[in-house]
Amino acid sequence: MSNSRSKGLLDAIEMRFRESRMATLTLDEPREDGHRISLERIRELILDRGIAPEAQDAVWRELVTLARKGEERWQLAAIWMMLPGLRKIVGRCGGGRETDYGEVESEAVAGFLEELHRIDARRPRIGASLWWAARRRAAEVRLRRAREIPSEEIALVAAERERRDHEPGALAEAVHEGVISVSDARLINETRLEGERLGAVAERMGLRYHACHQRRARAEGRLAGYLLVGGDKRAPSPPGEVPVQLRPEGDAA
């Protein structure tokens, strides 16, 4: 992976986490000399294989539980804890003619967040399961890109110039930053904001209903990951607070 690559979503998550001063927060386990230790120290121990698999499971079990309670800062903390693994995924799946690092980053984060909200926290090797969920989503990017028709993309870019000012702010910003495509922004806008039936939009796009449903879910997952760190561009928040509310599932019709 080239060192000259511009900063992307994972770098933004790292920066947001540091700025929120969350690295000093602690969990119940593990402990050193009987004392609770910071998230930063816990991640160091995990990377150095300094704690047993059972202790790692305890860490992820608590992070999953806290994230599911609805506090966005703990969702951010969970992603931050997995950042080294996510960076490995991007290094393996990103680049090449068919795709780019930005889309792989967004998909990896989206896959991680989806699994975070549905994994059985009682199972062993929670961290590995979360990593593989992110890895599977990232690996799909290259295949999807290879199937896209270049002429369609050219037409979409031209159409986007005409419609950008009419799209909702968050969607337009995400399109501009390359998080989602123009067609995905329209899909979300028409079915979520304008209230059009997904089946009707799928027919107009030449897609089967299930394929259109999945496409929207993937796009909303990438959008959720982007907004997690992109929201602070519009309104600064006090240290320790994450202003954006994420929906665990992006498929609610």
pLDDT at position 216, please? 85
pLDDT at position 146, please? 56
Indicate the pTM of the whole model: 0.58
- pLDDT tens per residue across span 103-116: 888 889 999 999 99
pLDDT at position 242, please? 35
> Closest by alpha carbon to 103, among 147, 48, 145?
145
In one-letter notation, the amino acid at residue 1 is: M
pLDDT at position 154, please? 46
> Residues 6 or more apart from 59 whose CB is under 8 A from it?
27, 29, 30, 42, 46, 51, 81, 127
Dig out the tokens for 92 from the structure.
């393996």
Give the torsion sign (CA, 59, 13, 177, 5): negative
pLDDT at position 7, please? 67
Q: Which residues of the chain have pLDDT under 70?
A: 1-7, 95-100, 142-168, 228-253
